[in-house]
């Protein structure tokens, strides 16, 4: 087999998986402000090298970061409003409704009702300011991002005009992007959405710079598919499997597996890969270019879909009826390699993986993922002594229960194997998992913050196949302070002992 396209993962490191929405703060949701920087300080102080996040795009129904209104835009919920207050764009009184929200979880309904009005106030004040250096930066941002920003702000403005319904429910004349002549980025709603993106990317760039200066790399994530109700599909329907009436002819998902007995019916539109190939996968490369601006390392979710993808009838009620169809395979990644020879990509290769998918991973040269919970349940190739060095190891991911939650519902034979393998009494399961991960052969080990905090199932981030009630978990500042004080030296020792 010829040399792989990539071979970037050569050193060991550890990190934490935490989506920014879970950070502390007093506006009802974690943001990119003070507490994000304090979390970076924690990572740097205890010898970590990575902060892994979920996708950062604007979320819709279900609040999932894997179902966003755009593959390019940022989530305005993450904008730190105190930062806007310090800039003179908001008053403390503007933030009082958000200050009254619970701090222990994200109430997305309240965010929807309250936060947009506050962001609108900040936008109105910003746009009313006389032209100057700040406005020059805003105009430069619009110009630099026009390839996706113009269609996104038009999409969001029209969505607001029609009660935020899916674009497939808009009046017929609005469903086709090319028929809309009005430039929404020049109207008040369009300018507001452009402002939100300007502030998101400005704040994210500052946070990423702060992390990088402290030796922390941002480990990002992009879903393989985009949401049906997104500016991407509305703007480029020819790149997806759609009929002349702009209805999907097949949708994405996965067959029944470990996570869901009926499979997972994601409902995302499928790519018309033959059309992507015509222009050398330009849309995908543009998407990755934006991802490489945001992140130092990029995980691609559901890598197997590039080799073959699960096609489900558009009217299906679950994912039990499906066919496997060929993906672009190596051709896409050769196009990516030509444009991004130094890219740091990771493949999410969990689930049922075929020999052909393994061959593609070897050809591309991407590190895959291993999960310790699966190892103790019987997937022995994920055990710490079995994992290949060129991989990323987790106790569990955002789709798994916490380590304590997982252990407490395991049958006796799994618990016994766990005790024997790790030579432990299982009195502190999360930390036994963390130490085993640090000691493993995998070059990157990443654990969810919930495991560092020793939390149970009530802190689970996401349950696959469950449409609502996910992505709500947040931690309190004193929880981080406690683990920092009580376990900080131990983590530094792990980093030294296991050369991370």
The per-residue pLDDT for range 50-85, each reduced to its tens digit, is 999 999 999 988 899 999 999 999 999 999 999 999
Q: What is the pLDDT of residue 387?
A: 92
Report the catalytic residues. 301, 348, 399
CATH superfamily placement of domain 13-367+443-474+488-497: Glycosidases (3.20.20.80)
How far from 377 is each of 163, 223, 258, 351, 482, CA to CA, in Å?
47, 27, 11, 14, 31
What's the sign of the alpha-carbon dihedral 88, 90, 93, 99?
A: negative
For residue 345, which of 222, 442, 216 has the smallest C-alpha distance? 222
Q: Find the Cα–Cα–Cα–Cα dihedral 117, 121, 124, 125, rounded to 10°.
A: -170
Q: Rounded CA gap, 313 and 438, in Å?
A: 43
Three-class SS state of 148: helix
Q: Rounded CA gap, 368 and 436, in Å?
A: 18
For residue 77, which of 99, 61, 58 has the smallest C-alpha distance? 58
Q: Tell me the per-residue pLDDT of 154-181, one tens digit each, with 9 for 90 and over.
A: 999 999 999 999 999 999 888 887 666 5
Q: Do 33 and 82 meet the contact criterion of CB atoms below 8 Å apart?
A: yes
Question: Which pair of structure tokens corresponds to residue 69?
Answer: 């209104």
Q: Rounded CA gap, 164 and 14, in Å?
A: 41
pLDDT beyond 80 at 370? yes
Question: Which pair of structure tokens corresponds to residue 384?
Answer: 């710490």
Interacting residues of 428 by C-beta distance below 8 A, sequence separation 6+: 454
In the sheet with 444-448, reading across from the earlier edge strand, the strands are 345-347, 297-300, 217-222, 50-52, 13-17, 444-448, 391-394, 368-371
How far from 141 is each of 63, 137, 138, 148, 296, CA to CA, in Å?
27, 6, 5, 12, 21
- Kindly state the average pLDDT of the residues 142-151: 95
- What DSSP state is assigned to residue 248? B
Q: What is the pLDDT of residue 184?
A: 47
DSSP 1-40: -PPPS-----S-EEEEE--GGGS--SSSS--SSHHHHHHH
- Kindly state the average pLDDT of the residues 444-453: 98
pLDDT beyond 80 at 12? yes
Q: What is the pTM assigned to this prediction?
A: 0.96
Q: Tell me the per-residue pLDDT of 243-293, one tens digit each, with 9 for 90 and over.
A: 999 999 999 998 887 767 888 898 999 999 999 999 999 999 999 999 999
Measured from the Cβ of residue 353, the count of other Cβ atoms closer than 10 Å reads 15
How far does Cα 325 stand from its chain's mean position?
25
- In 167-255, which residue ranges form alpha helices assigned H by DSSP? 172-175, 188-213, 231-235
- In 129-187, which residue ranges form alpha helices assigned H by DSSP? 133-144, 146-161, 172-175
Q: What is the pLDDT of residue 442?
A: 98
């Amino acid at each position: 087999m010829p040399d792989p396209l990539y071979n970037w993962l050569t050193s060991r490191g550890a990190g934490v998986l935490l989506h920014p929405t879970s950070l502390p703060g007093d506006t009802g949701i974690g943001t990119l402000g003070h507490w994000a920087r304090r979390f970076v300080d924690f990572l740097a102080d205890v010898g970590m090298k990575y902060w892994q996040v979920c996708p950062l795009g604007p979320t819709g129904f279900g609040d999932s970061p894997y179902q966003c209104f755009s593959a390019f835009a940022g989530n305005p919920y993450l904008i730190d409003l105190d930062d806007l207050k310090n800039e003179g764009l908001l008053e403390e009184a503007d933030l009082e409704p958000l200050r009254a929200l619970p701090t222990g979880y994200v109430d997305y309904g309240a965010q929807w009702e309250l936060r947009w009005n506050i962001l609108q106030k900040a936008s109105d004040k910003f746009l009313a300011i006389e032209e100057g250096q700040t406005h020059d930066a805003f105009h430069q941002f619009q110009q630099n991002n026009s390839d996706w920003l113009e269609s996104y702000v038009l999409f969001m403005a029209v969505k607001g005009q029609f009660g935020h319904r899916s674009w497939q429910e808009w009046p017929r004349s609005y469903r086709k992007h090319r028929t809309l002549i009005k430039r929404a980025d020049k109207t008040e709603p369009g300018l507001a959405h452009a402002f939100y993106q300007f502030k998101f990317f400005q704040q994210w760039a500052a946070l990423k710079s702060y992390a990088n200066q402290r030796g922390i790399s941002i480990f990002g994530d992009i879903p393989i598919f985009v949401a049906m109700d997104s500016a991407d599909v509305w703007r480029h329907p020819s790149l997806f499997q759609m009929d002349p009436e702009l209805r999907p002819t097949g949708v994405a998902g996965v067959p029944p597996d470990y996570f869901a007995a009926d499979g997972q019916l994601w409902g995302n539109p499928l790519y018309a890969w033959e059309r992507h190939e015509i222009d050398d996968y330009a849309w995908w490369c543009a998407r990755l270019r934006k991802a490489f601006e945001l992140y130092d390392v990029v995980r691609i979710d559901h890598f197997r879909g590039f080799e073959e993808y699960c096609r489900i009838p558009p009217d299906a009620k679950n994912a039990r009826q499906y066919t496997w169809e060929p993906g672009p395979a190596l051709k896409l990644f050769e196009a990516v390699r030509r444009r991004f020879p130094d890219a740091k990509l990771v493949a999410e290769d969990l689930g049922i993986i075929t020999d052909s998918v393994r061959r593609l991973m070897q050809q591309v040269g991407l590190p895959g993922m291993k999960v310790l919970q699966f190892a103790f349940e019987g997937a022995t190739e994920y055990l710490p002594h079995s994992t290949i060095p060129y991989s990323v190891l987790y106790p569990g991911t955002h789709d798994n229960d916490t380590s304590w939650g997982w252990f407490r519902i395991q049958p006796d034979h799994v618990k016994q194997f766990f005790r024997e393998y790790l030579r432990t009494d299982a009195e502190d399961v999360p930390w036994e998992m963390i130490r085993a991960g640090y000691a493993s052969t995998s070059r990157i080990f990443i654990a969810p913050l919930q495991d560092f905090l020793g939390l149970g199932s009530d802190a689970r981030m996401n349950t696959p196949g469950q449409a609502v009630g996910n992505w709500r978990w947040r931690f309190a500042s004193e929880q981080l302070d406690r683990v920092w004080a009580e376990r900080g030296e131990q983590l530094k020792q792990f980093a030294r002992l296991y050369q991370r």
